[in-house]
């Protein structure tokens, strides 16, 4: 079994809605259950055709009844864990390459910041303590990049899967 196949096996599956809009990542086990239960179909990334049989490796499933919603609770589930994953567990403050062990509110809660994808970044303990209850500007710190929402991450992975399938 090739490395690439193994990666497909190990990774989560992206669920898309009736318009092929990525909704969420889900475990392979859950995806298989949804397909077996008739609620979803395996989607071929190269052609966007529905496959009625399980392939040995699949990366996309389509839920023909669903439509993506920005406020989806599933998307927001376990926010901190997903923020860490989005930022690859690396501190997001410039010129720091420490492993992130905390999640930082860019605009602090005490200054009206919210617990959202766009206001949370992975952060190491040192940077978090240095920044304290200040904005990055107030603390003289810069972010490596603007934090993006869950959809952005999903779309990137979705595009990656399509690209890989088309190249194969």
Chain positions contacting Zn ion, by CB under 5 A: 91, 93, 96, 98, 124, 127
Q: How far is the CB of 100 from Zn ion (least distance, A)?
A: 7
Tokens of 71: 């406020």
Angle among Cα 22, 76, 160 to the nearest 5 degrees reads: 30
Q: In whole angstroms, what is the distance from residue 22 CA to residue 153 CA? A: 10
Which CB, 44 or 96, lies closer to Zn ion?
A: 96
Which CB, 46 or 125, lies closer to Zn ion?
A: 125
Q: How far is the CB of 91 from Zn ion (least distance, A)?
A: 3
Q: How far is the CB of 95 from Zn ion (least distance, A)?
A: 9
Q: In whole angstroms, what is the distance from residue 102 CA to residue 93 CA? A: 12
- Could you give phi then psi for residue 41, rounded to 5 degrees? -125, 150
**50, β-bridge pairs:** 43
Tokens of 59: 């990366």
Are the C-beta atoms of residues 14 and 158 closer than 8 Å to each other?
yes
Which CB, 34 or 92, lies closer to Zn ion?
A: 92
Which CB, 44 or 143, lies closer to Zn ion?
A: 143
Q: How far is the CB of 108 from Zn ion (least distance, A)?
A: 16
């Amino acid at each position: 079994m090739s490395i690439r196949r193994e990666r497909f096996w190990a990774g989560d599956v992206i669920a898309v809605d009736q318009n092929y809009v990525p909704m969420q990542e889900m475990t392979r086990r859950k995806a298989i259950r949804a397909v077996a239960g008739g609620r979803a179909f395996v989607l071929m990334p190269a052609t966007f055709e529905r496959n009625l049989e399980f392939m040995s490796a699949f990366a996309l499933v389509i839920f023909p009844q669903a439509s993506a919603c920005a406020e989806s609770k599933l998307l927001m589930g376990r926010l901190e864990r997903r923020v860490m994953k989005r930022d690859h567990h690396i501190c997001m403050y410039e010129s720091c390459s420490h492993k992130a062990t905390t999640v930082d509110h860019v605009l602090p809660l005490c200054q009206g910041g919210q617990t959202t994808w766009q206001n949370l970044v992975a952060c190491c303990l040192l940077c978090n303590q240095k920044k304290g209850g200040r904005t990055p500007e107030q603390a003289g710190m810069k972010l490596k990049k603007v934090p993006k929402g869950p959809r952005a991450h999903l779309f990137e992975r979705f595009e990656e899967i399509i690209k890989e399938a088309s190249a194969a």
